[in-house]
């Protein structure tokens, strides 16, 4: 295209000047920056909320771990007691059988 074929519109009525175009573009950029700042602020608030939730969940998890450890210890103690009582019961039954056998032998 030859330069004489390009229409010069700079003097047309209602066409923005170069300065007006730059100012308008700068204004659009400022609006974008403000919107991004709002989004960044909201994201930071969300992150802060997530951190707080994580802290609460971590504390709950630690309490549950302690509770489970206590249950395990209690269960182990009870199991030891059951085993001890089972041994005593087995010994009792053995003594009863021995006594019954002695009683039968004395009768004969």
Exposure class string for 54-90: b at 16+ Cβ within 10 A, else e: eeeeeeeeeeeeeeeeeeeeeeeeeeeeeeeeeeeee
What residues contact residue 24 under an 8 Å CB cut-off, 6+ apart?
A: 16
Would you say residue 4 lies in a domain?
no
Q: CB of 27 within 8 A of CB of 19?
A: no
Cβ neighbours for 15, distance < 8 A, ≥ 6 positions apart: 9
Q: What 3-state class would DSSP assign to 11?
A: coil
Q: Indicate whether 89 belongs to any domain.
A: yes
Residue 44 counted as domain residue? yes
- 55-72 confidence digits (pLDDT tens): 999 999 999 999 999 999
Q: Show Cβ contacts of residue 16 under 8 Å, excluding neighbours closer than 6 positions.
A: 24
φ and ψ at residue 34, rounded to 5 degrees: -65, -40
Give domain status of residue 6, yes or no: no
- Within a domain: 61: yes
Domain presence at residue 40 = yes
Domains identified in the chain, total number = 1
In a domain, 1, yes or no: no
> What would the pLDDT profile of 6-42 be if each residue is shown by its tens digit?
666 666 667 888 899 999 999 999 999 999 999 999 9
Q: Which domain holds residue 58?
A: 16-107
The predicted pLDDT at position 94 comes to: 96
Q: Indicate whether 57 belongs to any domain.
A: yes
């Amino acid at each position: 295209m030859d330069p004489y074929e390009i229409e010069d519109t700079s003097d047309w009525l209602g066409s923005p000047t170069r300065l007006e175009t730059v100012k308008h573009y700068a204004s659009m950029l400022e609006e974008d920056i403000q919107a991004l700042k709002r989004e960044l602020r909201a994201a930071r608030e969300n992150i802060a909320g997530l951190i707080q939730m994580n802290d609460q969940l971590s504390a709950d998890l630690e309490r549950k771990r302690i509770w489970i450890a206590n249950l395990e210890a209690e269960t182990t103690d009870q199991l030891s007691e059951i085993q001890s009582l089972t041994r005593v019961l087995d010994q009792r039954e053995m003594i009863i059988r021995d006594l019954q056998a002695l009683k039968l032998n004395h009768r004969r």
